[in-house]
């Protein structure tokens, strides 16, 4: 089977999920080509797993200091180029398209009649999961952004809906260092993050950001963004400070790390993620970078890991099964192993 796999490159969560599923698909002998969109090629890192991948402009969101910039987002998205890329992407050599919230591959598959499976956290929003009321425009955009007749959603908990547990890579164990905190807030200004944590000198803060080399400020270390280095630090930290993206928060839950999250202002998905995390009692949130909330959170006790069942192997088998059962059956069978 030959598969075209499209991945939304805004943020790193979609890439992390793809990395987790890829070995299971490769073990089945699937021939996979990758298309990434949503950021420039130079801004991708640690991409050796994906071979000779293609990067297209796609669609993206522009943020400044944790706030959605509506006008800049409109100006940054080249709509005519986006439409042209949809028409130019030829799928005649592929048996299947997989889209992790990637719009060009999803729309190309729809228009060319090629089978497509959508795999994303956003797909879970089609069901009765914890979410905000209103926000009709955000809901509509989420629905039409990367359409597919077959959709698989992921969430922190099943909430009695046909969604799957988080699709995350193998979780290694590390000895918890109680005063060590990992910080990844890719849409916030680095100076703002440093000022947030600077007064808390009894703690070690490992910040990951877009820098060329490691920078040391006493108890604060700023690290270049690296998939491997980040997960090494994540294994033995006590807690994680981040925006409210789904994949990182899921990994923190599975590692047993307490969470302090600040949603991106105006980002519907992240605002809903806070509601879901609080519904299962697993996060503290702040609307802005708040040292008082941080001080209280640092004093909170450690939390136990959530033992999520393995998702990649059964999901890969399901994808490659021409007589695949409905998603509700798949969901129940995977959660039964929790």
Give percent of the chain with pLDDT exceeding 70.
93
Residue 39 or residue 275, greater confidence: 275
What angle, 0 to 180 degrees and rounded to 10, lies between the N-to-C axes of helices 13-27 and 312-320? 70
The length of the chain is 338
Quickly state the pLDDT bin for 274 (edges 50, 70, 90).
very high
Q: For all residues of the chain together, what is the average pLDDT?
A: 92
- 2 forms beta bridges with 31
Residue 76 or residue 190, greater confidence: 190
Distance CA 51, CA 326 (A): 32
Q: By C-alpha distance, which of 105, 21, 5 is closest to 313?
A: 21
- 14 forms beta bridges with none
Distance CA 110, CA 170 (A): 33
CATH number of 180-298: 3.40.50.2000
Distance CA 74, CA 107 (A): 20
> Domain boundaries in the chain?
2-167+309-335, 180-298
pLDDT one-digit tens code per residue, 17-44:
999 999 999 998 899 999 999 888 998 9
In sign, the C-alpha dihedral spanning 243, 44, 14, 22 is: negative
Quickly state the pLDDT bin for 171 (edges 50, 70, 90).
low
For position 130, what pLDDT does the model report? Answer: 96
pLDDT one-digit tens code per residue, 118-159:
999 999 999 999 999 988 888 998 999 999 999 999 999 999
Contact criterion met (CB below 8 Å) for 181 and 157: no
Quickly state the pLDDT bin for 165 (edges 50, 70, 90).
very high
pLDDT one-digit tens code per residue, 37-91:
988 899 898 899 999 999 998 877 665 665 566 556 666 667 888 999 999 999 9
For position 59, what pLDDT does the model report? Answer: 76
Token pair 């522009």: residue? 62
Contact criterion met (CB below 8 Å) for 149 and 118: no
For position 75, what pLDDT does the model report? Answer: 62
For position 282, what pLDDT does the model report? Answer: 96
What is the H or E stretch that residue 26 is in? Answer: helix 13-27
For position 187, what pLDDT does the model report? Answer: 85
Quickly state the pLDDT bin for 266 (edges 50, 70, 90).
confident
CATH number of 2-167+309-335: 3.40.50
pLDDT one-digit tens code per residue, 98-107:
999 999 999 9
Other C-beta atoms lying within 10 Å of the C-beta of residue 160? 9
Quickly state the pLDDT bin for 172 (edges 50, 70, 90).
low
Quickly state the pLDDT bin for 184 (edges 50, 70, 90).
very high
Residue 267 or residue 190, greater confidence: 190
For position 28, what pLDDT does the model report? Answer: 87
pLDDT one-digit tens code per residue, 212-253:
999 998 999 999 999 899 999 999 999 999 999 999 999 999
Distance CA 259, CA 238 (A): 9
pLDDT of 160 higher than 80: yes
For position 332, what pLDDT does the model report? Answer: 97
Contact criterion met (CB below 8 Å) for 155 and 131: no
What's the DSSP call for residue 54? E
Distance of CA 11 to the CA centre of its chain: 7
Radius of gyration of the chain (CA): 20
Distance CA 289, CA 197 (A): 10
Q: What's the first-to-final CA gap in the chain, in angstroms?
A: 31
Other C-beta atoms lying within 10 Å of the C-beta of residue 52? 6
For position 62, what pLDDT does the model report? Answer: 61
For position 324, what pLDDT does the model report? Answer: 94
């Amino acid at each position: 089977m030959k598969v075209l796999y499209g991945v939304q490159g805004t943020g790193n969560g979609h890439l992390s999920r793809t990395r987790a599923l890829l070995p299971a698909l490769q073990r089945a002998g699937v021939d996979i080509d990758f298309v990434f969109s949503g950021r420039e090629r130079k801004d991708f890192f640690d991409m050796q797993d994906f071979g000779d991948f293609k990067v297209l402009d796609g669609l993206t969101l522009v943020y400044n200091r944790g706030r959605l910039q509506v006008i800049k987002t409109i100006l940054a998205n080249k709509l005519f180029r986006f439409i042209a890329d949809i028409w130019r992407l030829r799928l005649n050599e592929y048996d299947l398209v997989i889209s992790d919230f990637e719009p060009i591959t999803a729309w190309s598959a729809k228009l060319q009649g090629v089978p497509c499976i959508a795999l994303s956290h956003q797909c879970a929003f089609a069901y009765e999961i914890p979410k905000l009321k209103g926000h009709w425009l955000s809901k509509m955009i989420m629905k039409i952004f990367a359409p597919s007749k077959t959709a698989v959603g992921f969430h922190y908990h099943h909430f009695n809906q046909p969604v799957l547990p988080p699709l995350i890579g193998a979780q290694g164990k590390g000895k918890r260092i109680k005063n060590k905190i990992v910080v990844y807030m890719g849409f916030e200004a680095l100076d703002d993050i440093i000022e947030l944590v600077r007064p808390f000198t009894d703690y070690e803060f490992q910040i990951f950001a877009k820098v060329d080399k490691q920078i040391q400020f006493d108890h604060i270390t700023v690290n270049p963004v690296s998939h491997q280095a980040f997960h090494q630090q994540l294994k033995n930290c006590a807690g994680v400070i981040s925006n409210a993206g789904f994949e990182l928060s899921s990994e923190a839950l599975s590692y047993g790390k307490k969470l302090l999250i600040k949603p991106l202002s105006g980002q519907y998905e992240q605002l809903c993620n806070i509601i879901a995390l609080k519904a299962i009692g697993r996060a503290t949130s702040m609307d802005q970078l708040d040292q008082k909330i941080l001080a209280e959170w640092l004093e909170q006790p450690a939390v136990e890991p959530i033992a999520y069942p393995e998702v990649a192997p059964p999901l890969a088998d399901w994808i490659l099964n021409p007589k695949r059962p409905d998603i509700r059956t798949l969901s129940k069978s995977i959660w039964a192993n929790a």
